[in-house]
Structure 1
Amino acid sequence: AATSVARALLGAVLLGLVRHVFVPRPPIYRDLPLRLATSWRKRSSASRAAWAALLGTRPAVLFVGYLAVVMFGYSHNGPPLRISPNEVANLQVRWDAAWYFGIANEGYRYWSTRTTDQQNIVFFPALPTLMRVGGRLLGRTATSLFLAGTLITLGAFFWALTFLYRLVSEMLGNEDAARSSVWLLATYPFALFYGAVYTESLFLLGAVAAFYRLNRGEYVRAGLWGLLVGLTRPNGCFLSIPLAMVAAGPWLPRWLAGPLNTRRPGQCAAPQPSSIGPAIVAAAMPGVGVLLYSAYIWQLTGYPFTWATGHAAWGREYQGLATLVTDRWMWLTSAGVYKYTSELPNDLLNALGALFVVVAAWPVWFRLGPPYAVFILINILPPLAAGGMLSAGRFSSVLFPAFVWLATAIPARQRPGWNATFMAIQALNASLFYTWRDLY
């Protein structure tokens, strides 16, 4: 097959030989190491911090997930889905990952008009499209698709951490805070999804990179990263709001534009008034991504927002924030803390994640700026209002400004303790997730 690994490698070798014949100097064995060394020196701090956080957390979490499967077993005597009798090969076949696998393997299907029927059109195309391409290169089997998905999410997570490090370094002029931000995000209890075949890594990468590029006035790159976010998750369009606040910074009052004085001269400066047009276009690209997918769904189903109404099949219906708060207050006051924590532990875990980012939005507003606080609120409050604590912890994991603030608020001597505590709870969450026990 044209997509086999052997043929692809053979083609690459032949192209390299042809290039060497026509352009013999410098030879690739001399040029490539120099290029890699130059790139490493330019981004050494960010790359090293990202590598350390990636290698220090992702293998451990996956190993804990595997041990939980073989030692604790599954919650219902066996996994609902399986592609292999080998538990290592089957480890990533969990929960929503199966939907992304189905899209990558067979494409989108619309077979029912009832909103109570779960359908794959509610899952956006960025991740399954990349899985399809990667899976074909790796062998076009079910295992190769999940392997491709794993490599994509891990690679995107690494790239996102490098962007986060650079963003924090340039905004705050503090590499220690940047390094701590990377580690706090990687050890966060719900960071387990950065190693699963889920969209968290792609969303985080696109969001951080869009902020970073827009702050630097690189509007085309910012727009492309924003487009990725819009094609990754339904709430991707919300990114346009804080990006527009950054783009319109010169026109906004100081209290709304953010503390620009915390940035070093020439770095992460707000867009200039003369470039407001390109900046606004770049900020709009996350919304464009959602509209592009909606146009495809319109052609498929006859209604552009069928993907939105389809979320009702997963229990996502509007109930309001007031109901969310009053319900839990009534549980606590009537049944007590012990009964709530013992009978609804998964609700407690997700509530703690949601509470962390909502509370963090206040200091983020004053420390990093309103656009970053709005980014937190616009991505956590709507899903809370329309689904309660369902997946609230997972949604909180990508709200990176909360971790940046936490890194600046925690004394250096206390950071190892925070990371260890975060990682311990992440191991618990991984055990629940990989053994098909309720985490949401």
Structure 2
Amino acid sequence: MPSAGPALAGPRRRPAPGPAARPAPGWLLRDVLLPFAWTRAALLGVAWFALQFGQSWTYPRPAVALRGFSYTRQLWLDVWGRWDTIWYLDLAAWGYKATGPIAHAQSNIAFFPAYPLLVRAAHALLPRAWQGELGRFAVAVALSNVLAVAGLALVHAYVRARFADPALARRTVLYLLAFPAGFFLSCAYSEALFLFCCAAAFLASARHRFWLAGLAAAAASLARPAGVLLALPLAFHLLEARGWDPRRTFPQALALLLPPLALAGHAANLWRVTGEPLALFHAQAAWGRHLTSPWRTFFFPSGYDPHMGPVEQAALGLFLALGLWLLRERHFAGGAFTLLSLVPILTSGTLMSSVRFLAVLFPAFVALAEVAEGEAADRSVLTLFAMGQAALFVAWTRFYWVA
């Protein structure tokens, strides 16, 4: 992973102390690999404990819930695959296909292609005897974990480069891992890939490698809808690097077009597959998402679970406050990305999955790591996060919908 260069100018807090802020050798092992390993081990302990509880009767595959596993009896592997995992694996195996009217029948049209394509490519490299549903699932889990470690390392490198504070970088990684929905970084979901692409885009742009940042943002746009929003924070980095003079941003400013172009290409492909020019948007309606005012979504959310609301509302309130704090402290790129990422959630009519969507907005975790710099605050955050993650993972293990 890239090492920290000289601290970059911009944020109001934490002036660059220079080369002395470089992390001690072994930062990758100490600050990323070991925390990742022991948090995953702790989650497997939680999963074993969760076996004492009954399975959810609301799981859409009741036979799977009844037998107690999705893909394999090996708990250490199977526990990372629930709910939307089946859609990603279906997309990896068969490509896009509609199962009925797009706005009413759930289908893999609603899912973005980058992660399934990676799974398909890696699965094709397996020996033929290992290929199949279980092999595809194992590949998906392995990819997520590799990408999670790489993404966390890039987050660490970005925080060191931007804020010249290895301790801040260490806390940011810990908060990402401990966040209640942080276990999704190891699941057969696209969260780890999205974190990796976002962190790569931020780090590349902070180091003034704007074309590389644009390519990473384009990849993020093919991993999750919010990836296209990276264009604005990258624009802040570009303007900052050019002394806030828009006339000096050409031709690097053209790199900001890559994320929307990637999203447009995906939309065009779905149009080709389905015959509907707005299939990208209409597919979300089958999951109860439709354009709604932010206040109605926040105060009167809909969704599959009638009890969904307080946890999601608290999480959204926290991230709104952290985004505003970033702007106040002149961390414009991180603040813009955090706040913009809340808009699709708050205008969707439902808070369903919002905690999972928040789990990869790493600039907000940088803000939290700055705010909770004291020992007491740091321990409080980690304790609350760990308790929340344990509770959600117990439910997830027993096939309950959590995010």
TM-score normalised to the size of structure 1?
Answer: 0.77
Deviations 1:310-365 (A, max 9, x none): 1000000122112134438xxxxxxxxxxxxxx96542222222111111111111
Residue equivalent to 2:53? 72
Residues 1:368 and 1:397: Cα distance change in structure 2 (over 3 Å): farther
Structure having the higher Rg:
1
**Structure-2 separation of matches of 1:104 and 1:71:** 33
**Which amino acid is the alignment partner of residue 58 of structure 1?**
R
Q: CA deviation at 1:215?
A: 1.5
| Pair 58,278 (structure 1): closer, same or farther in 2 beyond 3 Å | farther
Displacement, 1:289?
1.8
Give 2:191's aligned residue.
200
Give the stretch that moved more between structures: 192-201 or 51-60.
51-60
The alignment covers a number of residue pairs equal to 367
Unpaired runs of 5+ residues, structure 2, are: 1-22
**Which moved further from structure 2: 83-92 or 380-389?**
83-92
Matching residue of 1:153: 144
Contact persistence 1:153–1:195 (CA under 8 A): yes
CA contact (8 A) 1:46 1:166 kept: no
Distance 1:84 1:166 in 2: 36
Contact 1:433 1:439 (8 Å CA) reproduced: yes
Q: Is the deviation greater in 152-161 or in 379-388? A: 379-388
8 Å Cα contact 1:154/1:195 also seen in 2: yes
Give the superposed CA RMSD: 2.5
Cα distance in 1 for partners of 2:243, 2:208 equals 17
The amino acid that maps onto 1:391 is: S
| Matching residue of 2:12 | none
Task: Answer yes or no: is 1:366 the counterpart of 2:292.
Answer: no
1:128 aligns with 2:116: yes
For residues 28-76 of structure 1, what are the alpha-carbon distances to aligned partners after superposition, in whole Å with 9 as ceiling and x for unaligned? Answer: xxxxxxxxxxxxx9973245311122112123224423431x2113112
Instruction: Return the alpha-carbon distance in structure 2 between the equivalents of residues 66 and 94 of structure 1.
Output: 16
Question: Residue 171 of structure 2 corresponds to which residue in structure 1?
Answer: 180
Contact 1:384–1:392 (CA under 8 A) maintained in structure 2: no
Distance 1:326-1:67 versus aligned 2 partners, 3 A rule: closer
Match of 1:302 in 2: 275
> What's the offset of the Cα at 1:295?
2.0
Deviations 1:116-146 (A, max 9, x none): 1111011111111111122233321211111
Which of the two has greater helix per residue?
1
CA distance in 2, matches of 1:208, 1:309: 29
Rate the CA distance shift 1:206–1:368 in 2: closer, same or farther, 3 A: farther
Q: Does 1:227 align with 2:209?
A: no
1:82/1:438 Cα in 2 relative to 1: closer, same or farther (>3 Å)? closer
Deviations 1:170-220 (A, max 9, x none): 211111111111111111111111111111111111111101101111123
Gaps of 5+ in 1: 1-40, 254-270, 329-342
Alignment-derived partner of residue 115 in structure 1: 103
- 8 Å contact kept, 2:44–2:76: no
Correspondence for 1:408 = 370
**1:395: Cα distance to partner?**
1.1
* Counterpart residue number, 1:58: 40
Equivalent residue letter for 1:79? V
CA distance in 2, matches of 1:357, 1:301: 36
Match of 2:361 in 1: 399
- What is the distance in 2 between the residues matched to 1:152 and 1:49? 21
> Which residue number corresponds to residue 383 of structure 2?
420
Q: Report the alpha carbon displacement of residue 114 of structure 1 after superposing the two structures with TM.
A: 4.3
Deviation, 1:366, is: 2.4
Alpha carbons 2:228, 2:259 under 8 Å: kept: yes
Taking every aligned residue pair, what percent have the same amino acid on both sides? 25
Shift of 1:416: 3.0
